[in-house]
Structure 1
Amino acid sequence: MFFRTESFQDFIRFYPIVATLIGIHIFLWLTGDLLQISYFVQLERLGNGNNLATADGEYWRLITPIFFHAGLAHMIFNSFSLVLFGPALEQMLGKGKFLLAYLGAGFAGNVGTFLLGPDYYLHVGASGAIFGLFGVYLYMIYAKKHLIDQANAQIVLTITVIGLVMTFIRPNINIYGHIFGLIGGLALGPIVTSGAQTFTMSFSRSRRRGSDSDIGFDPNRWNKRRIPWRRFLPKFIWGMLVILIIAGLFGRFF
């Protein structure tokens, strides 16, 4: 579910919303942070989270901070998180509901930051929206167990707990954005998972030749395939978790 094996072309084809969001992250970082193009630098200043400006009527700042990031590491970390945890939800929920969950959770995180944060608080980043995706997964785990298998549910629970712990022990993290983003995802769970289909991922030769067979997440698919790297997958997942924890301790992603 969280192990990406698609080609670049397949990723864009089957997860267009996730691919577009990541493309926006990269484009805004390149034009604003790296190349310092004046128009996009000004765009970021107008789009970052600014509680004082929001209070003055600039309400677009409750959405736009989702797309901007504070440096390369921050952008890569959030984009990588979206690559791992976004595709399955996009296929299960559909493009519209996935976008609703993502933007709705990000909006909830920014509203929480506006209501509870200091007047002069500044913030950017997709972290609240990504925590919202975890909120949707948590809703599935406790209310719609048929949509996610136990192994992947444990991965989601573990990462969510680690993320919450890091939220409170790391400096310069928008705690309000993370917590209210998670709550927003949970609240949107019943809406966006209505009619959701289980997600199986199979890029077969027939599919590459244009077959219209369904894509979905089948919780038992690993038991159906006898592949040599099957035993490697849990080690890979836990290895990535360790890397993210170490990076969170020594980097400044938020």
Structure 2
Amino acid sequence: MIFIRYEKWRTYVKQYPVTTLLLLANIIMFIVLAISGGSKDGETLLRFGAMWKEEPYVHETWRMFTSMFLHIGFDHLLFNMFALYVFAPPIEQALGSFKYAVLYLASGVLGSAVSVWLSEWGTLSAGASGAIYGLYGAYFFIALFQRWALDEASRKTLYIILGLGIIQSFLMSNVSWSAHLGGLAAGFVVYGLMRWVHRK
């Protein structure tokens, strides 16, 4: 079962440096939001880079990147950071830090782009969900086309998480289903392209 974390913190930091940096970046930005007006305050979120589908902010494409490191409320942060802490290490170990960083960031940006495209006007959004679903997309590719790389327990866990996550995306209010599915598709495609380039 590759999704059980046995490492001590020092070992974790040494083996998964990019994941560690991502965890710290998200936590630090949450603290910055908290002391600057609150992580649920729309003006504060917008000031620090959240996406808002309104003129002229909808054209500020840099927000698709910065919004990945902002979270609306502590529960939002906790859920995403737990998923990142548990599920990211095997991908970073398999791809190497650089390719893993590309996968994570590309999935997050593309998930944000899909979210802006499909969301209603006036929607304010932020969070690492698109990038994290990108990791799930990479695992889904592995489960379908590299079955030898996942044990049965890990594969079943992945399918359960994906199923529950997609259902939750549509049933829960204030959850961006478009960012989740956009990130999932992006991770699947980006990881597949990486495998294709590697084989070539």
CA displacement at 1:94 relative to structure 2: 0.8
Residue of structure 1 in register with 2:182 after alignment: 180
CA displacement at 1:72 relative to structure 2: 1.3
DSSP 3-state at the match of 1:113? helix
Give the structure with the larger helix fraction.
2
Residue of structure 2 in register with 1:94 after alignment: 96
Residue of structure 2 in register with 1:192 after alignment: 194
Q: Which structure would you say has the larger Rg?
A: 1
| Aligned 1:31-180 pairs, distance under 5 A | 31-33=32-34, 35-36=35-36, 45-52=47-54, 53-55=56-58, 57-180=59-182
DSSP 3-state at the match of 2:36? coil
Q: 2-side partners of 1:30 and 1:46: how far apart? A: 12
Q: 2-side partners of 1:179 and 1:63: how far apart? A: 17
Q: Which has the higher contact order (CA 8 A, sep 6+)?
A: 2
CA displacement at 1:46 relative to structure 2: 3.8
Residue of structure 2 in register with 1:30 after alignment: 31
Q: 2-side partners of 1:79 and 1:87: how far apart? A: 12
CA displacement at 1:152 relative to structure 2: 0.7
Contact 1:116 1:176 in 2 (8 A): yes
Question: What letter is aligned with 2:30?
Answer: W
CA displacement at 1:147 relative to structure 2: 1.8
Q: 2-side partners of 1:61 and 1:165: how far apart? A: 27
Cα RMSD, aligned residues only: 1.9
The superposition leaves residues 141-166 of structure 1 with CA deviations (integer Å, 9 ceiling, x where unpaired) of 11112221222111111110010011
Give unpaired runs (5+ residues) of structure 1: 197-254
Residue of structure 2 in register with 1:199 after alignment: none
Contact 2:45 2:70 in 1 (8 A): no
Residue of structure 2 in register with 1:9 after alignment: 10
Identical columns (%): 29
After the TM superposition, which parts of structure 1 deviate over 4 Å for at least 4 consecutive aligned residues? 41-44
Contact 1:69 1:125 in 2 (8 A): yes
DSSP 3-state at the match of 1:125? coil
**Further displaced range: 85-94 or 23-32:** 23-32
Q: 2-side partners of 1:126 and 1:79: how far apart? A: 8
Residue of structure 2 in register with 1:218 after alignment: none
Question: What letter is aligned with 2:155?
Answer: A
The superposition leaves residues 31-63 of structure 1 with CA deviations (integer Å, 9 ceiling, x where unpaired) of 221x2379xx857524101122443x3110111
Q: 2-side partners of 1:116 and 1:75: how far apart? A: 23
Give unpaired runs (5+ residues) of structure 2: none
TM-score by length of 1: 0.71
